Copies of this chain bind each other. A is one copy, B any other.
Amino acid sequence: MTESKHSGNISPEFALLGFLISGQSHGYDLHQRFVTELGHVWHLSQSQAYAILKRLESRGDISAHLVEQEKLPARQMLRITTQGRKRFFEWLELGLGTNARSIRLEFLTRLFFAQLHRPESISQIYNSQSDEIESSIVKLETLIEHLPPEQTFNRLSLDLRLQQLRLIQNWMAEIRTQFHISRI
């Protein structure tokens, strides 16, 4: 317990990769697309976008090629590599997340790119996320049951988390109808 484990928050990275699946592009444009399409899901500053792209390049998930322009400064044209493509689809179909924040951020991001690049696996993504929530609700419930009664603040915290997870279930049910996702 609890979140902020420095592990989450990987998906702006994958979002940038996801945009590159549609074809090569450059930092400025990727950041722009990110802001207009997912700007209310995540916040991503320009410099941060560039930093992430640098990291992706150093890991071999994308490759960069300088393209001179007559007037404006040269562009770093970016292409996703085979490895990057593999990593992206692994994240898309296997990545999960349990807490409210990561669901809003990661799950929505995955849904967004699934719709773009893998519409046929939307229901699989949806269902595994939904199962994950189910099971973490159960875990939380037992955790709360076994919490010593004097732990007022820990209890309040876990109570809210539990209620948030239940809320997310309803919110996801709403998504299911909107996206015409079939049950398991």
Q: Is the CB of A171 within 8 A of B163?
A: yes
Q: How far is the CA of A175 from the CA of B152 in the complex (A)?
A: 10
Q: Is the CB of B4 within 8 A of A40?
A: no
28 of the cross-chain contacts (CB-CB < 8 Å) are A1-B39, A2-B42, A2-B43, A4-B42, A5-B43, A37-B151, A37-B154, A39-B154, A40-B147, A40-B151, A40-B154, A40-B155, A40-B157, A40-B158, A41-B153, A41-B157, A100-B100, A100-B101, A100-B164, A104-B157, A104-B160, A108-B157, A109-B153, A112-B153, A160-B167, A160-B171, A163-B171, A167-B167
Q: How far is the CA of A153 from the CA of B153 in the complex (A)?
A: 34
| Minimum CB–CB distance for A130 against chain B, Å | 15
Least CB separation from A5: chain B residue: B43
Residue A156 interfacial (CB < 8 Å): yes
Q: Is the CB of A161 within 8 A of B4?
A: no
Stoichiometry (number of copies): 2
Q: How far is the CA of A4 from the CA of B156 in the complex (A)?
A: 23
| A64: B residues at CB distance < 8 A | none
Q: Is the CB of B160 within 8 A of A37?
A: no
Q: How far is the CA of A109 from the CA of B43 in the complex (A)?
A: 25
Least CB separation from A111: chain B residue: B153
Other A-B contacts than A4-B43, A40-B157, 13 sampled, CB-CB below 8 A, are A3-B101, A5-B43, A38-B154, A40-B151, A40-B153, A41-B153, A104-B160, A104-B161, A108-B153, A108-B156, A159-B171, A163-B167, A167-B167
